[in-house]
Amino acid sequence: MIAFLKKLLGLGPATDYTALVKAGAQIIDVRTKAEFEQGHIKGALNIPLNNLSNHYAKMKKDKPIITCCASGVRSAQAKHILTANGFTKVYNGGGWSSLKRKLG
């Protein structure tokens, strides 16, 4: 039960997003096109959350995927959707600007 709560609240070991990107992770930004155009992480793929299910073919199930958005809410939803559809290496990167800082 404690492990479940820690996972739910994100209280586990920190994710090394830089290592994931070096290992070929794809960054999926689930904000709207307008939000994405105002700023984004270089190389990120913009697939708005409401269109995510139409773009599974653009994502590789054998590679890590990092989701991001404005604050982390939509990216958490995207992670849940992708995991429910067979993607096994999905990480919620949270807000794109804080993820960008973590990536250097």
What residues are annotated to the active site? Answer: 69
Distance in angstroms (rounded) separating the CA atoms of residues 57 and 74: 20
Q: What span, in angstroms and rounded, lies between the C-alpha atoms of 43 and 41?
A: 6
The residues near 80 (Cβ < 8 Å, ≥ 6 apart) are: none
